[in-house]
């Protein structure tokens, strides 16, 4: 297989300084041959006397991106080359490494606010689907998966059962190794995504599930690894070769050291785990860098097992070290850079992932045999049937007889370039030697003709046929084995994961016609234009849930206004509105152009009819070139061109609108989640200050688990979100911020200290609201 030798490419990206952060001292030199980042820190004061010396560290990178580098530049320079390799059939991995808050998620997934802040994953999806669409020479199938690894346990962020159960209760993703040491991930679903929109929806779905699973106690985003994988398989029509490749986009857990964070108890265990898995990642990487190292310790952690075929060997691997260069984080940044230097030592050999489809191979070999037979017939001038005819046999007998009787030592037996005849002669001679009496026929002499050349060729061809026969036998055996494997895998799959699809399903072919012929009509009703092909994120608050009391509803309004995110929501709403208007306008123009094209076509037909009629009534007149028609055709071409341009823009707008909508939904979900946390905290405070409320009969225990379980989302959930609800706050519209799912009602009511006022008791909620407002007044006066 084709091979590409590469070291792991290591880049650095410096995050912009925060408003109150003090800049650390560093400099970047992006000149050839290898760019370097120099960090300078004050000398240790350990010896007890002060000096002004500084210590300098210099690190080499493929390229260093300073604070102002934008997401599109990052994509173009770092991710695009990897995406291109993946499109060509190699595996690829991009991982972001750095301490919490240094910009890993921002780089890999993107910021939650602006469209221009979208990160490597959405940009890569867009790029890949664009390229696939352009290439009609192959049939492509794409799937995505989204895995979170937390404390060495794997969770499927796209598991459809997210809706019904808590993350912890879902079946864990586990690693299985087959006899060929290939890694299979049990319980990780591969969701087919036929276009950018579907893939983006899946990404947002996974992100939202991840966000919801996160509680203050479980800051999963800094303590877990997330791996978004794009699987591509491709095949040329009729070819036996299937290319499979995958691209892992990895958001690693924070790399900060335990000692510094100084946390105890539960969190310490987690931190230790994170460090362990990053430590194992480093061990694998170091082992890969060593020459002649046969054992690579992949199995030490889930992370390294999953990336097994995508770190060393068969892969294009890229790492982005994310750095926060303010004074307080310089230490961590240096240790991130050190890690990066070790990673940069690895030499990878990326291998093209090709495998052969035995069925197609057999078909090809059969065809080759037929071709060879035809060639043979051409050389010998005879069509071959399997048996020699009676007549031919008699002729041969005569030839043999002649040959045997000929006393001339130079005489030879020549039957031409036909193996069957040659074989027959030998058999016949053997018979004559063994049973001399049975062959009493006369033998005739014969001339030698010059057919040696074609004889040789015939032998070659015969040999080839034999070889192909053998190959077919081998392939048939392979096919049987393969069938059995597929059967086994299927039964395993059925037993384990309901949501996954088999990778080999052929994708619905992407029709090119749609973009070429202006036959589609654009009707632009806002709710309907962009009907999603993957179910949308449902509203966080379920209609089935309890109603939000007036008190908490009002509180939510207040909370929303105070919340920084709501500004973004407003901005995005504006932008969305603009984009909708643009899309609408463009849609109308598209319709106009379409009509125009149809009109022009009508005129051409009319013209042709007229000229045909003229030709009939005036047969003598010759049909000449019609410049009018030609002119009309040119006009149509022009219109088509502008149609195509507009359609391209329309598509771009559509993607942007989709993205904005998803961003807004996500921000809203976050807002509501924050509100719930804040609301229950407020409630607790009130209980402490107004203990008599605890005894209120209208309180119910809210188990935080219920809050979470009711909100997990699934790709298959039937979403009741409609487009038009996007302009309103879903929570307010449905009037139902819920504190849990409906099962809450059946739970045993009031227990003691953790109870908070719930829906229904407007008096209690009004009390809280009054309290909140009072608090806010006080706070405002203080500030
Ligand atoms: P991590 O995932 O490493 O913990 P994040 O990606 O969440 O860090 O970044 C922390 C914060 O800094 C986020 O609010 C993010 O939007 C912001 N941020 C990170 N990198 C950049 C950048 N290059 N430009 C603008 N904002 C950034
Ligand atoms: Mg993060």
Q: Does any ligand 1 atom lie closer than 6 A to the CB of residue 100?
A: yes
Q: Is the pLDDT of residue 707 over 60?
A: no
- Of the ranges 245-249, 693-697, 751-755, the best mean pLDDT one: 245-249
User: Taking a C-beta distance cutoff of 8 angstroms, is the pair 50, 361 a contact?
Assistant: no
Domain 3-43+52-356 falls under CATH 3.40.850.10: yes
Q: Distance from the CA of 559 to the center of ligand 2, in angstroms?
A: 25
How high is the pLDDT of residue 66? 96
pLDDT digits (tens, 9 = 90+) for 538-594: 333 333 334 455 566 666 776 776 666 666 777 778 888 888 888 888 888 888 988
Rounded to an integer, what distance in angstroms lies between the CA atom of residue 719 and that of residue 740?
19
Among 106, 111, 336, name the best residue to mutate to test ligand 1's pocket (greatest count of ligand atoms within 8 A of Cβ): 106
How high is the pLDDT of residue 127? 97
Average pLDDT over residues 709-736: 42
Tokens describing residue 190: 């591969």
Q: Distance from the CA of 503 to the center of ligand 2, in angstroms?
A: 30
How high is the pLDDT of residue 739? 35
Annotated binding residue 760: no
Select from 299, 298, 253 the least CA-distant residue to 274: 253
Q: Which residue has the higher pLDDT, 441 or 153?
A: 153
Can you give the pTM of this predicted structure? Answer: 0.59
Q: Is the pLDDT of residue 279 over 80?
A: yes
How high is the pLDDT of residue 309? 79
Q: Distance from the CA of 196 to the center of ligand 2, in angstroms?
A: 23
User: Taking a C-beta distance cutoff of 8 angstroms, is the pair 119, 109 a contact?
Assistant: yes
Q: Is the pLDDT of residue 475 over 70?
A: no
Q: Which of 33-42, 421-430, 494-503, 677-686 has the lowest mean pLDDT?
A: 494-503
Average pLDDT over residues 620-626: 68
How high is the pLDDT of residue 452? 57
How high is the pLDDT of residue 458? 78
Q: Is the pLDDT of residue 361 over 70?
A: yes
- Of the ranges 130-139, 152-161, 609-618, 644-653, the best mean pLDDT one: 130-139
Average pLDDT over residues 261-265: 47
Q: How far is CA 409 from the centre of its chain?
A: 77
Q: Which residue has the higher pLDDT, 436 or 412?
A: 412
Number of other residues whose CB lies within 10 A of the CB of residue 466: 10
- Give the residue whose CA is nearest to atom 22 of ligand 1: 15
Q: Which of 19-28, 440-449, 768-777 has the lowest mean pLDDT?
A: 440-449
Number of other residues whose CB lies within 10 A of the CB of residue 619: 8
Q: Which residue has the higher pLDDT, 170 or 518?
A: 170
Phi, psi torsion values for 443, nearest 5 degrees: -110, 140
Rounded to an integer, what distance in angstroms lies between the CA atom of residue 559 and that of residue 759?
18
Rounded to an integer, what distance in angstroms lies between the CA atom of residue 195 and that of residue 534?
10
Annotated binding residue 661: no
Average pLDDT over residues 474-484: 67
- Which atom of ligand 1 lies closest to the CA of 107? 6
Annotated binding residue 102: yes
- Name the average pLDDT for the chain: 73
pLDDT digits (tens, 9 = 90+) for 501-510: 333 333 333 3
Q: Is the pLDDT of residue 162 over 70?
A: no
Q: Is the pLDDT of residue 671 over 50?
A: yes
pLDDT digits (tens, 9 = 90+) for 385-398: 667 788 888 888 88
Q: Is the pLDDT of residue 67 over 90?
A: yes
Tokens describing residue 466: 């034999």
- Ranges of beta strands (E only) in 219-283 are 224-235, 241-251
How high is the pLDDT of residue 663? 83
Average pLDDT over residues 604-622: 78
Average pLDDT over residues 255-265: 57
User: Taking a C-beta distance cutoff of 8 angstroms, is the pair 686, 626 a contact?
Assistant: no
User: Taking a C-beta distance cutoff of 8 angstroms, is the pair 115, 576 a contact?
Assistant: no
- Of the ranges 240-254, 517-531, 566-580, the best mean pLDDT one: 240-254
Average pLDDT over residues 320-341: 91
Sorted by sequence, the CB contacts under 8 Å of residue 114 that are 6+ apart come out as none
**C-alpha to C-alpha distances, 508 to 141, 192, 416, 532, 535, nearest whole angstrom:** 8, 11, 54, 17, 18
Among 101, 104, 109, 210, name the best residue to mutate to test ligand 1's pocket (greatest count of ligand atoms within 8 A of Cβ): 101
Q: Is the pLDDT of residue 213 over 60?
A: yes
Q: Distance from the CA of 16 to the center of ligand 1, in angstroms?
A: 9
How high is the pLDDT of residue 163? 63
Average pLDDT over residues 601-607: 87
Number of other residues whose CB lies within 10 A of the CB of residue 472: 16
Q: Is the pLDDT of residue 82 over 60?
A: yes
**Radius of gyration (C-alpha) of the chain in whole angstroms:** 37
Tokens describing residue 18: 């925060």
Q: Does any ligand 1 atom lie closer than 6 A to the CB of residue 101?
A: yes
Give the alpha-carbon dihedral of 164, 167, 169, 173, to 10 degrees.
120
Average pLDDT over residues 69-90: 94
- Give the residue whose CA is nearest to atom 19 of ligand 1: 103
Tokens describing residue 282: 């480093």
Q: Which band of pLDDT confidence, cut at 50, 70 and 90, is reported for residue 180?
A: confident
Q: How many residues does the chain have?
A: 783
Q: Which band of pLDDT confidence, cut at 50, 70 and 90, is reported for residue 526?
A: very low
One-character DSSP codes across 380-404: HTS---SS--HHHHHHHHHHHHHHH
Question: How would you label 575-606 residue by residue, b for 16+ Cβ within 10 Å and e otherwise?
Answer: bbeebbeebbebbebbbebbebbeebeeebee
pLDDT digits (tens, 9 = 90+) for 226-244: 999 999 999 888 888 888 9
Average pLDDT over residues 418-447: 67
Among 13, 15, 121, name the best residue to mutate to test ligand 1's pocket (greatest count of ligand atoms within 8 A of Cβ): 15
Tokens describing residue 425: 């002669």
Q: Which band of pLDDT confidence, cut at 50, 70 and 90, is reported for residue 759?
A: very low
Average pLDDT over residues 306-322: 83
Q: Which residue has the higher pLDDT, 443 or 586?
A: 586
Q: Distance from the CA of 319 to the center of ligand 2, in angstroms?
A: 15
Q: Which band of pLDDT confidence, cut at 50, 70 and 90, is reported for residue 157?
A: very high
Q: Distance from the CA of 112 to the center of ligand 1, in angstroms?
A: 10
How high is the pLDDT of residue 120? 97
% of residues, the chain, pLDDT over 90? 19
Average pLDDT over residues 739-755: 33
Annotated binding residue 191: no
Residue 58 parent element (H or E): strand 54-60
% of residues, the chain, pLDDT over 70? 62
User: Taking a C-beta distance cutoff of 8 angstroms, is the pair 370, 464 a contact?
Assistant: no
How high is the pLDDT of residue 379? 75
């Amino acid at each position: 297989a084709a091979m590409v030798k590469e070291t792991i490419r290591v880049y650095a990206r410096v995050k912009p300084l925060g408003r109150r952060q003090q800049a650390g001292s560093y400099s970047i030199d992006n000149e050839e041959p290898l760019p370097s980042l120099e960090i300078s820190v004050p000398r240790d004061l350990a010896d007890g006397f002060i000096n002004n010396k500084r210590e300098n560290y210099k690190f080499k990178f493929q390229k260093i991106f300073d604070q102002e580098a934008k997401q599109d530049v990052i994509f173009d320079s770092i991710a695009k080359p990897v995406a291109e390799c993946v499109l060509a059939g190699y595996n690829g991995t991009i991982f972001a490494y750095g301490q919490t808050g240094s910009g890993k998620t921002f780089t890999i997934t993107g910021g939650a606010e602006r469209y221009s802040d979208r990160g490597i994953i959405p940009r890569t999806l867009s790029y890949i689907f664009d390229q696939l669409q352009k290439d009609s020479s192959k049939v492509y199938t794409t799937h995505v998966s989204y895995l979170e690894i937390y404390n060495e346990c794997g969770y499927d962020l796209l598991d459809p059962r997210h809706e019904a159960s808590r993350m912890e209760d879902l079946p864990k993703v586990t690693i299985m190794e087959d006899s060929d040491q290939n890694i299979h991930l049990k319980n990780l679903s591969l969701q087919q995504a036929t276009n950018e929109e579907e893939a983006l929806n899946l990404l947002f779905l996974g992100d939202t599930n991840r966000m919801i699973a996160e509680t203050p106690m479980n800051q999963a985003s800094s303590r877990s690894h997330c791996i978004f994988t794009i699987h591509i398989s491709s095949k040329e029509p009729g070819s036996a070769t299937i290319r499979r490749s995958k691209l892992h986009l990895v958001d690693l857990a924070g790399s900060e050291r335990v000692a510094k964070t100084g946390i105890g108890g539960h969190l310490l265990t987690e931190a230790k785990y994170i460090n362990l898995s990053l430590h194992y990642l480093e061990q694998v990487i170091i082992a890969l860098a060593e020459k002649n190292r046969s054992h690579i310790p992949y199995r030490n952690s889930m992370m390294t097992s999953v990336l097994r075929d995508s770190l060393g060997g068969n892969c294009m691997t890229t790492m982005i070290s994310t750095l926060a260069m303010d004074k307080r984080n310089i230490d961590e940044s240096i240790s991130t850079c050190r890690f990066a230097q070790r990673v940069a030592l690895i030499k990878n050999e990326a291998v093209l992932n090709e495998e052969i489809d035995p069925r197609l191979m057999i078909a090809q070999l059969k065809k080759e045999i037929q071709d060879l037979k035809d060639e043979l017939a051409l050389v010998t001038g005879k069509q071959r049937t399997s048996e020699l005819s009676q007549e031919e046999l008699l002729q041969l007998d005569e030839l043999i007889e002649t040959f045997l009787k000929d006393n001339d030592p130079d005489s030879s037996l020549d039957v031409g370039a036909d193996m069957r005849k040659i074989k027959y002669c030998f058999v016949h001679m053997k018979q004559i030697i063994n049973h001399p009496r049975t062959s009493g026929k006369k033998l005739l002499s014969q001339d030698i003709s010059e057919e040696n050349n074609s004889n040789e060729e015939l032998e070659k061809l015969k040999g080839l046929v034999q070889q192909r026969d053998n190959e077919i036998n081998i392939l048939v055996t392979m096919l049987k084995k393969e069938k059995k494997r597929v059967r086994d895998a299927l039964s395993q799959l059925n037993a384990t994961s309901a949501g996954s699809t088999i990778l080999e399903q052929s994708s619905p072919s992407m029709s090119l016609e749609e973009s070429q012929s202006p036959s589609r009509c654009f009707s632009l009703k806002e709710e309907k234009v962009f009907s999603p092909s993957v179910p949308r994120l449902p509203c966080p608050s379920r209609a089935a849930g309890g109603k939000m009391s007036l008190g908490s509803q009002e509180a939510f309004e207040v909370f929303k206004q105070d919340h920084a995110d709501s500004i973004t929501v407003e901005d995005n709403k504006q932008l969305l509105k603009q984009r909708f208007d643009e899309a609408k306008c463009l849609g109308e123009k598209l319709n106009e152009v379409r009509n125009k094209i149809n009109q022009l076509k009508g005129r051409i037909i009319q013209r042709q009819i007229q000229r045909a009629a003229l030709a009939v009534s005036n047969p003598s007149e010759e049909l000449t070139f019609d410049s009018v028609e030609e002119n009309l055709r040119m006009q149509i071409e022009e219109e088509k061109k502008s149609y195509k341009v507009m359609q391209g823009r329309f598509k771009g707008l559509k993607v942007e609108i989709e993205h904005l909508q998803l961003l807004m939904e996500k921000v809203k979900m976050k807002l509501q989640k924050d509100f719930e946390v804040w609301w229950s905290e407020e409630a607790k405070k009130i209980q402490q200050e107004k203990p008599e409320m605890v005894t209120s009969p209208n309180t119910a225990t809210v188990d935080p688990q219920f809050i979470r379980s009711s909100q997990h989302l699934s790709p298959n959930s039937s979403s009741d979100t409609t487009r038009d609800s996007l302009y309103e706050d879903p929570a307010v519209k449905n009037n139902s911020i819920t504190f849990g799912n409906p099962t809450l009602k059946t739970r045993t009511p009031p227990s003691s200290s953790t109870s908070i006022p719930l829906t229904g008791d407007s008096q209690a909620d009004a009390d809280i609201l009054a309290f909140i407002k009072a608090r806010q007044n006080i706070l405002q006066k203080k500030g």
